[in-house]
């Protein structure tokens, strides 16, 4: 009797196991299958990057959280990984930054077109991301010179987004999204009476003028949704009034850095960006581990190409 009872329990356990396995397969899909990825050049709808609840929250959300530099929660502290020589170069970079920035302005004024002309590797098969589209100057230059297969432009300010949509309505390869990127999802408020420099790091966003919400998507979610690790980016160019620090922090602290053939950026020094000079100097040491400097107007514009 005891053996029969034990056998019955074993049969019930076995059957329940089969049922659970079946339910798990039906409900959640087969285990260990890779996540679906988009194909290189595939155009996604804007809704792929955030859900409807996030869009509706624009009406009710507070402004983007104020950044502080009391902890390293808003930036990645790379200082501990440097050698004595690297630390010495970082300190010199910080010490000389005002002189270097002044010289950088002079050099950039003399060679302004270099940030467009120095990318002759781009062609009809290239995949490009630009953060900070503004009125489309850079996008127009890159598109007319190289005709890349897919050119993604991020512009969170509605006024400039509509300018871009109109300007590139006859260019199907130019994909324009009405959001920006940073370390986290959120919304910041933009004075639409201003023509330049809209940034979530500017203090007086809600003083005088007409303000509208602008969407921010976390940069990690943005790259994941684009399946960057499966679809190498030929160029990312960053002129986004502060978001370049979040992007570079992510790239340089993960293996994402190896999936970007070329990186071009303009660093900014808005008051709410944590340690912009020191972080810029850290990036100089870190980028050269995987990339080579192509040109540099120090603290103004620079470009790095993967080795």
pLDDT of residue 29: 29
Give the pairing of strands 186-191 and 211-218: antiparallel
Give the pairing of strands 291-297 and 262-265: unpaired
Mean pLDDT by 10 residues, the chain (307 residues): 53 44 30 46 80 58 61 85 97 97 97 96 96 96 97 93 96 95 83 59 54 84 92 95 93 96 93 90 98 97 97
- CB burial of residue 220 (10 Å; 0-12, 13-18, 19+): middle
DSSP 204-237: TTTSSS-EEEEEEEEHHHHHHHTTTTTS-BSEEE
pLDDT of residue 65: 57
CB 304 within 8 A of CB 251: no
Q: Copy the structure tokens of residue 8.
A: 């019955």
Tell me the C-alpha distance between 195 and 274, whole Å. 25
Give the pairing of strands 262-265 and 301-306: antiparallel
Tell me the C-alpha distance between 237 and 244, whole Å. 9
CB 149 within 8 A of CB 125: yes
Q: Residue holding tokens 């990690």?
A: 220
pTM score of the predicted model? 0.81
CA dihedral angle for residue 97, residue 286, residue 249, residue 164, rounded to 10 degrees = 70
Q: Copy the structure tokens of residue 92.
A: 């010199």
CA dihedral angle for residue 218, residue 148, residue 170, residue 197, rounded to 10 degrees = 40
């Amino acid at each position: 009797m005891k053996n029969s009872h034990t056998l019955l329990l074993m049969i019930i356990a076995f059957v329940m196991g089969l049922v659970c396995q079946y339910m798990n397969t039906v409900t959640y899909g087969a285990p260990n299958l890779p996540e679906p990825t988009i194909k290189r050049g595939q155009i996604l709808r804007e809704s792929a990057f955030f859900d409807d609840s996030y869009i509706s929250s624009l009406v009710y959300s507070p402004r983007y959280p104020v950044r502080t530099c009391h902890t390293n929660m808003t930036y990645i502290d790379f200082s501990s990984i440097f050698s004595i020589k690297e630390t010495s170069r970082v300190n010199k970079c910080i010490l000389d930054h005002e002189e270097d920035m002044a010289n950088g302005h002079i050099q950039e004024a003399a060679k302004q077109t270099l940030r467009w002309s120095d990318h002759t590797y781009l062609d009809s098969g290239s995949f490009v991301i630009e953060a900070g589209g503004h009125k489309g100057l850079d996008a127009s230059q890159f598109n007319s010179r190289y005709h890349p297969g897919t050119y993604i432009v991020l512009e969170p300010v509605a006024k400039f987004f509509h300018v871009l949509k109109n300007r590139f309505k006859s260019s199907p390869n130019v994909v324009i999204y009405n959001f920006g990127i940073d370390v986290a999802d959120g919304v910041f408020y933009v004075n639409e009476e201003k023509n330049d420099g809209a940034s979530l790091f500017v203090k007086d966003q809600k003083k005088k003028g007409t303000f509208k919400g602008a969407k921010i998507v976390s940069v990690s979610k943005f790259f994941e949704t684009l399946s960057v690790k499966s679809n190498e980016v030929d160029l990312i160019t960053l002129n986004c009034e502060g978001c370049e620090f979040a992007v570079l922090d992510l790239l340089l602290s993960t293996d994402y850095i190896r999936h970007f053939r070329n990186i071009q950026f303009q660093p900014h020094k808005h008051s709410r960006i944590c340690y912009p000079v020191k972080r810029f100097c850290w990036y100089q040491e870190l980028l050269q581990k995987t990339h080579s400097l192509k040109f540099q107007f120090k603290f103004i514009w620079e470009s790095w190409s993967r080795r």
